[in-house]
A and B are shown apart, each in its own frame.
Chain A
Amino acid sequence: MNEPPATRLPAGLRLPFDPLLALAAVGLMAASLVTLNASTSTDVPGDPHYYVTRQCVFFVVGTLLAIVLSRIDYSRLRELKYGIYALMIGGLLLVAVFGGVTRGSRRAIQLPFFEVQASELGKVLLVVALAGFVVDRSRRLGERDTTARLVLLAMLPAIFVMTSDLGSGLVYIAILLAVLFVAGVSWRHFAGLLTLGAVSVTLVLVAAPALGVTVLEKYQVERLTSFLEPSAVAGDAGYQQNQSRIAIGSGQKTGRGDRATQSPLNFLPEDRTDFAFAVVGERWGFAGAGLVLSLYALLVWRGLRILTVAKNLYGALIAGGIVAMLLFQVFINVGMNVGIMPITGIPLPLLSYGGSSVLSTLLAIGLLQSIYAQGRSAAATKRRSLPF
């Protein structure tokens, strides 16, 4: 990988952030507003812009937070890792005790303006905390003990989240794996983890029901398996999957525009959150959906690029965790929209309506920008200190 040209610019012209990453984020936010405008104009009687306005506010708040974060040296967060970890666990516990119930799962704390989904913000907090723990043991990374501790630290919130929201829990696991991977944990440990994972999945799906213990609710199993054959599942999950595929497929190459019917006539469920991508697919066709996907690809590419320019291991680990978090969510959500992944209720970062998801994604992008900026300035300092 070569240096981006920006670094070759004179110091005065050097941007304090990665412009391509910013472009991807802004592009996705714009796409989100356009999509929401189309899909929610009749949802709230008398206020066609209700959701667009609120999403706009989330974006503005989130972007401001991201800018602040990008100007701070992320490395300082390492010292706060215990506090951050405690904040994450505390938030999850609060939700479990006081949270409201959304679609069968307890996920959010109701605040006056919006409801806080602790599991969304927890994703970013986990990345930051976990990366800190890894750096602490960076000299003993080959040891099994290190891997086991990290797994325990991440699995605790992951399993906790999974009890009410399977999909988000899986995101936690994806973050764990990515952080371990970037940290350089040995392949043997990964093999061991995979075996362990396979055994526990078998236990949950096969052994526990056979013993009469309910680990997964019936609707959760249905959701996870319906994508295999959507029309065969009469229930809600198969219906949603079918309607989403019909919406996307009917968009064809350039979309149906205002002649769209799946979303406006409510055949497409959850069209502002889980199935927002299907709205894009129906209205703007392959062109629109392809553009959105390309923006995500840009996001992921820049994330990986920032990983490599991080000034320290801590930055690289955070970048790796964030990229994994974004990539996993995009793939699962879009995959569910196009019918190749189970329905898990994972939002599409930035595109889906929802304050918690938007804020956590923008915080993650802010962190990436901070890593980028720190990496740049470290390199620049080095260069300046050298005699020509």
Chain B
Amino acid sequence: MMMEPSGERRPPITPQLALRVALFGGVALALFAIVFFRLWYLQVLSGDKYLAQASSNRVRELRIQAPRGKIVDRTGKVIVRNRQAVVVELDPAKLPDAEREAAAEWGKKAGERAARPKGKRGDPVPYPPIATKALATRYRRLGAVVGKSAKQIHREVVRSLVLVPYSAIRIKTDVRESVLAYISERPARFPGVKVEKTYLRAYPHDQLAAQIVGTVNEISPEQLKDPRYRGVKQGTVIGSDGLERTYDRYLRGVDGVQRVQVDAFGRPVPNRALKREEPIAGQRLRLSLDLALQATGQRAVANVGGGRPGAFVALDPRDGQVLGMGSYPSFDPAVLTKPFTQERYEQLLGNGGVGPLFNRAISGRYPTGSTFKAVTALAGLEKGLITPGAVISDEGCIQVGEIERCNAKKQRYGAVDLSRALQVSSDIYFYKLGMNAYYNNGDRGDVVIQRYARKLGFGKPTGIDLPGEDSGVVPDKKWREERNRAEVECRKRKKISQSVNVFAAGAAGCGIADGRDYNLGDTVNIAIGQGDLQATPLQLAVAYAAIQNKGRVVVPHLGLEIERANGELVQRIERDPARRIKIDEEDRQSVAEGLRRAAGEPGGTSTDVFAGWPHGELPVFGKTGTAQTPKGDQSWYVAYVPAPKRPIVVAVTVERGGFGAETAAPIACRMLADFYDVESAGCARGESATQ
């Protein structure tokens, strides 16, 4: 430390002070170094990261909903379109904490109640009171505008907070435009209320094809994890059922993004540099469905069926295009686009899941009755168990094992060959064929008929482009053993004695099988489409299509093309090629002859139904079916018309519909008459006493 002498009052700086000043300076230097280094680290080394954080701080992305694609029939008639609707929502973040806490408490109690077994739940958990007076005023004010009481709104808020705590609470879907204006102009009066435009699905033909088109919903947290919806953002509307689900990725479109700059309080601050991404509308789906035929089918099932549940399928036998498919009872799918009550939903679902939402055409499994005889016949012909010309004697009844079995109403047909047996639906002929098949195969006990049925597509899903298809049942020895094992397991699990009979076990919660082995009776039952054999209307249509088209087992499908909104083709929908099976042409023709005689010649089971039908130009090859079920006779009719340019195969069934000729055949007749513009056909209920 070199200091000049600084006067008498001030001695030169001492070495001790010099040291301390140097230390002071050293500390200062170190502190500045630390800050400089830190600044360097933040700004130069990690600047990019913080720049990104700064921008995510201020940019909010708002989704712009993309309209879903339309669904049209084969001629372009619109089945499903969109319409804009105004929805009123509440922002859960703007609710007082007390309301959220009350909702959570209610949710907990309601959850505990639901966990208790049915019948022991006690009274429903009462809703909590509205948390604050100010909130009650808010609810009342909002309720006055949307036409609900404060209590109703409160309950919806509580339910929504419990189910989806952070989602906007939808108070009312589809309010008038004037409400939109009224609320948007008075944000201070309606704190936390958002009024937005959204697209809802609209169905110009109400109940038409209701079970096929399916439903849409906002993607749920579970669906977000589903690989099927990979890349879909939260809040997107997706197809969750039916065709909406199968072709979701075409119909969905891409939602746009509106980027808004906001300040720390969430208020928007204009910024032109932020780009808006326009939504891309979904593509249009063209179906193979013929809307006119569809309407006729649905009307006919409803009218002729007399209110009993039923279903129909119409296919193009050449390639499996679905021309019509319906299930009764039906519903207006528009009710599912808006919030609905639990009662309404349960009504749609039906007891045991067989309400209007249930698509009987692909999910309903029924015993097939005599419609299956065509399959039995082809199986017998292929194995040489019968020949087309071989005649048997039908005396009306026959002893099968220890049981005597008879034709319906013990009708006697005398000498019958194959086509006659099909024409009059002789059970005796097919019982004999069944016995023959059983004894020819020893106690392998199955194979011939079942194997042929499986080749034609029974016992497994047809592969149609709709979710929820049932596979039906083709019973054989192995199947019966599995069922028996399952019954034993079930009884063990539920501690039911293994010795009680199947009905008692059924009452106690088991009763899957009666424990007997596969036997002659099973094969004989299958031969006439009874017993444990079960199939969907679609499976029968596919099987008959294979008979018509000489052995092509088609994969039925509804989706035809993906198009732009203007109808321009984007792509044809790829589908699995038909499976080919070998059917001897002579065998096929003899079966076909039987089917033709059944519908078009005197004495045929459905001839009276087709009275007045131009059989010369448009021969109908049809088979009735009447399956005995505990609930009553299941009425069936399956037919094809091999018109060179527009062939068709139709399968119709009506639960408890009586004999095939009584309800199912007239429905099929009306559909065919509509399809071919035949006005002369009466399509009256058949008088035939046969199955």
Q: Do A and B bind each other?
A: yes
Instruction: Enumerate chain A interface residues (CB-CB to B < 8 A).
Output: 1-3, 7, 178, 181-182, 184, 243, 245-253, 256, 261-262, 265-267, 281, 285-286, 289-290, 293, 296-297, 300-301, 304, 307-313, 316, 320, 323-324, 327, 331, 334-335, 338-340, 375, 378-379, 381-383
Are the CB atoms of A246 and B17 closer together than 8 Å? no
Distance between A145 CB and nearest chain B CB, rounded to angstroms? 20
Known interface pairs A252-B44, A311-B10; 19 further A-B residue pairs with C-beta atoms within 8 A, sorted by A's residue number: A246-B57, A248-B39, A249-B42, A252-B47, A256-B51, A266-B264, A281-B42, A289-B39, A290-B36, A308-B13, A308-B21, A331-B35, A335-B35, A335-B38, A339-B38, A340-B38, A375-B6, A379-B4, A383-B4
Are the CB atoms of A246 and B53 closer together than 8 Å? yes
Contacts of A182 in B (CB 8 A): 17, 20-21, 24
A248 with B21: in contact, given A2-B2, A265-B263 (CB under 8 Å)?
no
Most B CB within 10 A of own CB, among A265, A297, A300, A307: A265
Contacts of A339 in B (CB 8 A): 38, 42
Are the CB atoms of A334 and B35 closer together than 8 Å? yes
Distance between B270 CB and nearest chain A CB, rounded to angstroms? 12
Which of B1, B27, B55, B262 contacts A308, CB < 8 Å? B1
Complex: chain A residue closest to B48, CB-CB: A252
Complex: chain B residue closest to A242, CB-CB: B53
Complex: chain A residue closest to B263, CB-CB: A265
Contacts of A178 in B (CB 8 A): 24
Contacts of A331 in B (CB 8 A): 31, 34-35
Per-position contact with A for B1-44: 1 when CB-CB < 8 Å, else 0? 11111110110011011101101110110011011101110111
Contacts of A243 in B (CB 8 A): 57
Which of A248, A249, A285, A375 contacts B49, CB < 8 Å? A249
Complex: chain A residue closest to B13, CB-CB: A308
Are the CB atoms of B9 and A311 closer together than 8 Å? yes
A253 with B16: in contact, given A261-B54, A265-B58, A265-B263 (CB under 8 Å)?
no
Contacts of A308 in B (CB 8 A): 1, 3, 13, 17-18, 21
Complex: chain B residue closest to A304, CB-CB: B25
Contacts of B13 in A (CB 8 A): 308
Are the CB atoms of B9 and A323 closer together than 8 Å? no
Contacts of A320 in B (CB 8 A): 24
Are the CB atoms of B16 and A184 closer together than 8 Å? yes
Q: How many of chain B's residues have a CB under 8 angstroms from any CB in A?
A: 49
Which of A253, A304, A327, A383 contacts B47, CB < 8 Å? A253
Instruction: Enumerate chain B interface residues (CB-CB to A < 8 A).
Output: 1-7, 9-10, 13-14, 16-18, 20-21, 23-25, 27-28, 31-32, 34-36, 38-40, 42-44, 46-51, 53-55, 57-58, 261-265, 269
Complex: chain A residue closest to B31, CB-CB: A331
Contacts of B36 in A (CB 8 A): 290, 293
Contacts of A383 in B (CB 8 A): 4
Are the CB atoms of A250 and B32 closer together than 8 Å? no
A250 with B51: in contact, given A267-B57, A311-B9, A316-B17 (CB under 8 Å)?
yes
Bound together, the chains give a CA A178 to CA B2 distance in angstroms of: 23
Which of A2, A249, A267 contacts B58, CB < 8 Å? A267
Bound together, the chains give a CA A142 to CA B673 distance in angstroms of: 122
Complex: chain B residue closest to A303, CB-CB: B28
Contacts of B27 in A (CB 8 A): 327
Bound together, the chains give a CA A247 to CA B47 distance in angstroms of: 10
Are the CB atoms of A248 and B9 closer together than 8 Å? no
Contacts of B18 in A (CB 8 A): 308
Distance between B66 CB and nearest chain A CB, rounded to angstroms? 30
Are the CB atoms of B21 and A304 closer together than 8 Å? yes
Complex: chain A residue closest to B273, CB-CB: A259
Contacts of A2 in B (CB 8 A): 2
Bound together, the chains give a CA A133 to CA B32 distance in angstroms of: 31
Report 14 cross-chain contacts, Cβ distance below 8 Å, ordered by A residue.
A1-B1, A184-B16, A184-B20, A246-B54, A251-B43, A253-B44, A266-B265, A281-B42, A304-B21, A308-B1, A308-B21, A310-B10, A331-B34, A378-B10
Bound together, the chains give a CA A281 to CA B213 distance in angstroms of: 59
Distance between A190 CB and nearest chain B CB, rounded to angstroms? 11
Which secondary structure characterizes the binding site on chain B?
Answer: helix
Distance between A295 CB and nearest chain B CB, rounded to angstroms? 11
Contacts of B58 in A (CB 8 A): 261, 265, 267
Are the CB atoms of A265 and B38 closer together than 8 Å? no
Bound together, the chains give a CA A378 to CA B18 distance in angstroms of: 20
Bound together, the chains give a CA A256 to CA B57 distance in angstroms of: 15
Bound together, the chains give a CA A309 to CA B4 distance in angstroms of: 9
Are the CB atoms of A304 and B24 closer together than 8 Å? yes
Are the CB atoms of B39 and A293 closer together than 8 Å? yes
Contacts of B48 in A (CB 8 A): 252
Complex: chain B residue closest to A266, CB-CB: B264
Bound together, the chains give a CA A308 to CA B3 distance in angstroms of: 8
Complex: chain B residue closest to A376, CB-CB: B6
Distance between B102 CB and nearest chain A CB, rounded to angstroms? 23
Bound together, the chains give a CA A2 to CA B2 distance in angstroms of: 6
Are the CB atoms of A290 and B39 closer together than 8 Å? yes
Bound together, the chains give a CA A274 to CA B18 distance in angstroms of: 35
Distance between B437 CB and nearest chain A CB, rounded to angstroms? 76
Are the CB atoms of A247 and B20 closer together than 8 Å? no
Distance between B57 CB and nearest chain A CB, rounded to angstroms? 5
Which of B3, B47, B265 contacts A249, CB < 8 Å? B47
A379 with B7: in contact, given A1-B2, A246-B54, A249-B49 (CB under 8 Å)?
yes
Bound together, the chains give a CA A308 to CA B263 distance in angstroms of: 51
Bound together, the chains give a CA A375 to CA B12 distance in angstroms of: 12
Are the CB atoms of B261 and A265 closer together than 8 Å? yes
Distance between A309 CB and nearest chain B CB, rounded to angstroms? 8
A379 with B6: in contact, given A181-B20, A266-B264, A297-B32 (CB under 8 Å)?
yes
Distance between A135 CB and nearest chain B CB, rounded to angstroms? 12
Are the CB atoms of A285 and B43 closer together than 8 Å? yes
Contacts of A261 in B (CB 8 A): 54-55, 57-58, 261
Bound together, the chains give a CA A265 to CA B32 distance in angstroms of: 30
Distance between B11 CB and nearest chain A CB, rounded to angstroms? 9
Which of A3, A247, A249 contacts B46, CB < 8 Å? A249
Bound together, the chains give a CA A310 to CA B13 distance in angstroms of: 9
Are the CB atoms of A300 and B20 closer together than 8 Å? no
A250 with B24: in contact, given A265-B269, A293-B39, A379-B7 (CB under 8 Å)?
no
Contacts of A286 in B (CB 8 A): 39-40, 43-44
Complex: chain A residue closest to B16, CB-CB: A184
Bound together, the chains give a CA A293 to CA B262 distance in angstroms of: 32
A267 with B264: in contact, given A2-B2, A245-B50, A246-B50 (CB under 8 Å)?
yes
Are the CB atoms of A338 and B38 closer together than 8 Å? yes
Are the CB atoms of B2 and A253 closer together than 8 Å? no
Complex: chain B residue closest to A297, CB-CB: B32
Bound together, the chains give a CA A301 to CA B263 distance in angstroms of: 41
Contacts of A251 in B (CB 8 A): 43, 47
Bound together, the chains give a CA A335 to CA B37 distance in angstroms of: 11
Are the CB atoms of A293 and B32 closer together than 8 Å? yes
Complex: chain A residue closest to B36, CB-CB: A293
Are the CB atoms of A382 and B7 closer together than 8 Å? yes
A312 with B35: in contact, given A250-B54, A320-B24 (CB under 8 Å)?
no
A378 with B9: in contact, given A265-B261, A265-B262 (CB under 8 Å)?
yes
Contacts of A301 in B (CB 8 A): 25, 28
Bound together, the chains give a CA A231 to CA B364 distance in angstroms of: 57
Are the CB atoms of A382 and B5 closer together than 8 Å? yes
Bound together, the chains give a CA A96 to CA B637 distance in angstroms of: 98
Distance between A70 CB and nearest chain B CB, rounded to angstroms? 18
Bound together, the chains give a CA A1 to CA B12 distance in angstroms of: 13
Distance between A14 CB and nearest chain B CB, rounded to angstroms? 14
Complex: chain A residue closest to B53, CB-CB: A246
Most A CB within 10 A of own CB, among B14, B23, B50, B265: B50
Contacts of A300 in B (CB 8 A): 28, 32
Contacts of A316 in B (CB 8 A): 17
Distance between B210 CB and nearest chain A CB, rounded to angstroms? 50
Bound together, the chains give a CA A7 to CA B17 distance in angstroms of: 22
Distance between B120 CB and nearest chain A CB, rounded to angstroms? 43
Contacts of A181 in B (CB 8 A): 20, 23-24
